Homo-oligomer: A and B are copies of this chain.
Amino acid sequence: MNFRSDNEAGAHPAILEAVARALGPKGGMAPSYGADEWTQRVERRLRDIFDKHDLLAYPVATGTAANALALACCTPPWGTIYCHPEAHIGVDEANAPEFFAGGAKLTPVPGPAGKIDHRLLAAAASQPVYGVVHHPQPAAVSITQATECGTVYDPDEVASIASTAKRHGLKLHMDGARFANALSFVGCSPAEMTWMSGVDVLSFGATKNGALAAEIVVFFQPELAREFEFRRKRAGHLFSKMRFVSAQLDAYLSDGLWLANARHANQMARRLVAGLSTLKGAQLLYPVDANEIFVILPPRAHDALQAAGAKYHSWPSDRPGERAYRLVTAFDTDPADVDRFLSIAKQAA
């Protein structure tokens, strides 16, 4: 019963097999640094999936690298990037975006349940600071999909933010560490979720959803990628045996594995939510759109779960006297674990 994080999940067997197969026939040599066939195939797959035949895609191996490199292409060092106060790029990446962007700034724009309030964004981006050398220059907006609260922007919400961004010449970045979970929830097309709603660049995550270590930065505006390859190399994120990263992505994108994995994780989250909704004293902090659940648990349930070895993180709660927790499901969450978790909680409460 480990609901600590989808980062603690294993890797999907099909992805492991793809890595092994990337050795190839006889001897197993292949061009290095991304000039291999796996990397090229991944880009082609993404062009099909996103229905955008001029997109550019660059594999990296961590979400922080994907975000920080993508954002560095969107802002000058004297720029600012608007993001939610709880955004991963702001609070969980040890200033990587600032580092990669040469000292650019993140400016928090709040909103309920992890989503930027587009009216507050409009107010922030309308300040008369453009071209005035004293002021950090508004350069980009970054939204997380699914958000750090487990909620999901629907395409209209993305478009509202994009519309404000475009009006001021800002780029729109989407941190899609859990993009598949978000997409699975909304049910729209990948294109509708991204470039058709105004997204310029996407950190497309795979690690949390079944890969070993593979993410890919997808540029829908090719000219935005102009400096990406130098930035990636200079940051040590260009892999010599790139095919072993790309092979993961290749398998991930084949036969709908990425969506199937996300669908399972989301289902397990809903199964948990269904059970918790009948647990007296349990209260969700946010709607559960994807695979993260933020919930106040009755103390007795929590104690019993801990005693039974269930693993999950505490979470800050605004409500005094109540203790909140985060439960995360993954592509490989066992329904039996969910059921056991619920049964222990109910028995104790």
In whole angstroms, how far apart are the Cα atoms of A225 and B11 in the complex?
31
Contact with B along A93-115 (1 / 0, CB 8 A): 11110111111111010000000
**Provided the pairs A77-B234, A99-B234 are in contact, do residues A134 and B92 lie with their beta carbons within 8 angstroms?**
yes
**Provided the pairs A94-B233, A98-B103, A240-B63 are in contact, do residues A10 and B32 lie with their beta carbons within 8 angstroms?**
no
* Chain A contact residues: helix, strand, loop or mixed: loop
Which residues of the partner chain B approach A5 to less than 8 Å between Cβ atoms?
32, 240
**Provided the pairs A10-B23, A212-B244, A236-B64 are in contact, do residues A230 and B32 lie with their beta carbons within 8 angstroms?**
no
Give the contact-size bracket for chain A.
Answer: 35 or more
In whole angstroms, how far apart are the Cα atoms of A227 and B23 in the complex?
36
Identical copies in the complex: 4
Interface residues of A in 12-35 (CB under 8 A from B): 16, 19-20, 23-24, 27-33
Do residues A29 and B16 form an inter-chain contact, with CB atoms below 8 A? no
Other-chain contact of A78, B24, B63, B94, B212 (Cβ < 8 Å): B94
Q: Flag whether A61 is at the interface (Cβ < 8 A).
A: yes
Which residues of the partner chain B approach A236 to less than 8 Å between Cβ atoms?
60, 62, 64-66, 68-69, 93, 96, 100, 235, 237
In whole angstroms, how far apart are the Cα atoms of A127 and B85 in the complex?
14
Do residues B16 and A2 form an inter-chain contact, with CB atoms below 8 A? no
Which residues of the partner chain B approach A240 to less than 8 Å between Cβ atoms?
5, 7, 62-63, 207-208, 213
Q: Flag whether A8 is at the interface (Cβ < 8 A).
A: yes
Do residues A29 and B8 form an inter-chain contact, with CB atoms below 8 A? yes
In whole angstroms, how far apart are the Cα atoms of A283 and B227 in the complex?
41
In whole angstroms, how far apart are the Cα atoms of A93 and B80 in the complex?
12
Do residues B230 and A94 form an inter-chain contact, with CB atoms below 8 A? yes
Do residues B19 and A212 form an inter-chain contact, with CB atoms below 8 A? yes
Do residues B105 and A77 form an inter-chain contact, with CB atoms below 8 A? no
Q: Flag whether A299 is at the interface (Cβ < 8 A).
A: no
